[in-house]
C-alpha cells in the first residue's frame, strides 16, 4: 500500500473495521447472487460459428441495423464507452475495499461479469457497422487514458452509495436504449435487456451491502450517502463531448434527471432513510439533507425541460451526420 493510501485508510479506520466485519454477510450475498444469475456470452448471441460462414446472418444483421435511428446510435456509443471504463472501476474498488481481502473476490467476479457488457456491445457495433468504429476506438482509448478519479476522499462507504446509484442508472439506460429500437432491430433490445438484468443484480448487491452498513454504522453511512446522492458524476464524464451525448440520451427519453430522481427516491425507501432513528447530530443532518434531494432534482429537471429547445447535434462516431432533436 502506498503511504497516501495508508493515510486515507487511517482517516477512515473505523469504516474499514466495519467493512472487514462484513465477510460472512458478503459471502452469503455473493452465493445468492451467483445462484440467481446465468452467465451468457457474446458468442451465444452474435454469430461466431467457426465451421459455417455466417455471411447470411451478418448480412441480415447489417440490413436491420440500417434502420436504427442516429439518436439510438449515440446512446449505444455512450453505453459502450461507459462499460469500457471498467479498468477505472476495478481499480477504484480495489483501492477502497482492499485488493488483499475477501472483497477482492467480489471485485473479480463483478469485473468478469461487467467485462461481458463491453464485449457484446462492441462485437455488435462492429458486426453491424452501426458506428464509425475507428472514431469509437479512439474515444475509448482517450477515455481510458484520461482516468476517472471521483472525489470520494478515500471513503469506502461512498463507493457503495455511488455503485448503487450507478448500477441502477446503467440498468435504466441499457433497458431504455433497447426499448426505443426494438421494432427496428430486436437484437439490440435482446442484448441490452440481458445487460440490464446483470446491472439489476449488481445494484441489488451494492444496495444490500450498504443497507447492512447503515445498520452497523448509521451516522457515518448517512453522512457518506448525503455527500454522493445529490448528483453522481457519470463515469463517461471524461469522454470528449460527454454533455452532448448525455443531452441526446435525455432527449431520447433514455436517461435524464427524472430517472436519477427516481433512483434516489427508490434508494431512500430501500435503505429506510426516512424512518431512521437514534441518530447523532451528523446522522440527523445527513438524513435531512438526503430527504431534500428529490425536490431539488425535480427543480433541476423542470429547469432543463423548460430551457430545452430544438437542437442539432453532430457526432463523428455517427458518421458526422446532423441529428435534429426536439
Ligand atoms: Fe455494465
Ligand atoms: Fe453493473
> What domain range includes position 85?
3-325
For 168, the grid coordinates are 441502477
- Judged by its nearest atom, the ligand closest to the C-alpha of residue 200 is 2
| Residue 298 alpha carbon to ligand 1 centre in Å | 27
CATH number, residue 79: 1.10.620.20
Q: Average pLDDT for residues 253-271, to the nearest whole number?
A: 97
| Residue 228 alpha carbon to ligand 1 centre in Å | 20
Q: Is the pLDDT of residue 254 over 80?
A: yes
DSSP, collapsed to helix, strand or coil, labels residue 188 as helix
* Average pLDDT across the chain, whole number: 94
| Residue 112 alpha carbon to ligand 2 centre in Å | 10
Q: Is the pLDDT of residue 9 over 90?
A: no
| Residue 52 alpha carbon to ligand 2 centre in Å | 34
| Residue 252 alpha carbon to ligand 2 centre in Å | 22
pLDDT score for 5: 63
pLDDT score for 261: 98
Whole-structure pTM value: 0.95
Work out whether the CA dihedral 216, 277, 208, 78 comes out positive or negative: negative
Q: Is the pLDDT of residue 166 over 70?
A: yes
| Residue 210 alpha carbon to ligand 2 centre in Å | 16
| Residue 180 alpha carbon to ligand 2 centre in Å | 21
pLDDT score for 189: 98
Within a 13 Å sphere around the CA of 158, how many CA atoms are in the beta-carbon half?
19
Q: What is the dihedral of CA 321, 170, 261, 266, to 10 degrees?
A: 160
Residues with CB under 5 A from ligand 1 (ion): 83, 114, 117
Enumerate the H helices of the chain as residue ranges: 3-11, 13-20, 23-36, 42-45, 55-65, 70-84, 86-97, 103-128, 133-146, 156-181, 186-216, 218-228, 242-251, 257-270, 281-291, 293-307
pLDDT in tens, 289-326: 999 999 999 999 999 999 989 999 999 999 999 999 99
For 167, the grid coordinates are 448500477
| Residue 167 alpha carbon to ligand 2 centre in Å | 5
pLDDT band at 4 (very low <50, low <70, confident <90, very high): low
Least Cα distance to 210 among 112, 324, 290 occurs for 290
pLDDT score for 10: 74
| Residue 226 alpha carbon to ligand 2 centre in Å | 22
| Residue 202 alpha carbon to ligand 2 centre in Å | 5
- Judged by its nearest atom, the ligand closest to the C-alpha of residue 121 is 1
Q: What are phi and psi of 324, to 5 degrees?
A: -95, 130
| Residue 269 alpha carbon to ligand 2 centre in Å | 21
Q: Is the pLDDT of residue 160 over 90?
A: yes
- Judged by its nearest atom, the ligand closest to the C-alpha of residue 117 is 1
Give the chain's domain count. Answer: 1
pLDDT score for 171: 98
- Judged by its nearest atom, the ligand closest to the C-alpha of residue 115 is 1
Q: Is the pLDDT of residue 139 over 70?
A: yes
For 249, the grid coordinates are 440520451
pLDDT in tens, 198-222: 999 999 999 999 999 999 999 999 9
| Residue 178 alpha carbon to ligand 2 centre in Å | 16
| Residue 195 alpha carbon to ligand 1 centre in Å | 6
Greater model confidence, 49 or 144: 144
Q: What is the dihedral of CA 77, 197, 201, 105, to 10 degrees?
A: -60
- Judged by its nearest atom, the ligand closest to the C-alpha of residue 84 is 1
Amino acid at each position: 500500500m502506498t503511504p497516501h493510501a495508508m493515510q486515507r485508510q487511517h482517516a477512515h479506520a473505523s469504516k474499514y473495521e466495519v467493512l472487514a466485519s462484513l465477510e460472512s454477510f458478503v459471502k452469503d450475498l455473493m452465493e445468492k447472487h451467483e445462484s440467481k444469475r446465468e452467465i451468457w456470452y457474446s458468442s451465444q448471441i452474435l454469430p461466431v460459428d467457426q465451421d459455417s460462414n455466417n455471411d447470411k446472418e451478418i448480412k441480415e444483421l447489417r440490413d436491420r441495423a440500417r434502420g436504427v435511428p442516429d439518436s439510438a446510435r449515440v446512446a449505444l456509443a455512450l453505453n459502450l464507452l461507459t462499460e469500457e471504463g471498467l479498468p477505472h472501476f476495478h481499480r477504484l474498488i480495489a483501492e477502497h475495499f482492499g485488493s488483499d481481502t475477501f472483497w477482492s473476490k467480489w471485485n473479480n467476479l463483478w469485473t468478469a461479469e461487467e467485462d461481458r457488457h463491453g464485449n457484446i456491445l462492441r462485437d455488435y457495433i462492429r458486426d453491424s457497422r452501426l458506428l464509425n468504429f475507428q472514431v469509437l476506438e479512439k474515444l475509448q482509448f482517450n477515455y481510458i487514458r484520461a482516468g476517472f478519479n471521483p472525489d470520494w476522499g478515500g471513503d469506502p462507504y461512498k463507493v457503495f452509495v455511488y455503485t448503487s446509484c450507478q448500477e441502477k442508472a446503467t440498468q435504466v439506460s441499457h433497458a431504455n436504449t433497447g426499448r426505443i429500437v426494438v421494432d427496428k432491430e430486436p437484437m439490440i433490445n435482446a442484448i441490452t435487456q440481458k445487460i440490464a438484468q446483470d446491472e439489476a443484480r449488481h445494484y441489488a448487491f451494492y444496495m444490500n451491502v450498504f443497507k447492512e452498513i447503515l445498520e452497523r454504522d448509521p451516522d457515518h453511512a448517512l453522512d457518506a450517502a448525503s455527500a454522493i446522492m445529490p448528483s453522481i458524476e457519470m463515469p463517461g464524464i471524461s469522454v470528449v463531448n460527454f454533455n452532448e451525448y448525455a443531452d441526446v440520451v435525455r432527449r431520447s427519453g433514455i436517461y435524464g434527471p427524472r430517472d436519477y430522481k427516481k433512483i434516489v427516491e427508490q434508494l431512500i425507501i430501500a435503505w429506510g432513510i426516512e424512518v431512521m432513528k437514534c441518530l447523532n447530530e451528523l446522522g440527523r443532518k445527513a438524513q435531512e439533507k438526503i430527504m431534500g434531494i428529490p425536490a431539488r432534482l425535480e427543480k433541476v429537471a423542470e429547469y432543463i425541460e423548460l430551457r430545452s429547445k430544438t437542437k442539432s447535434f453532430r457526432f463523428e462516431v455517427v458518421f458526422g451526420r446532423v441529428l435534429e432533436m426536439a
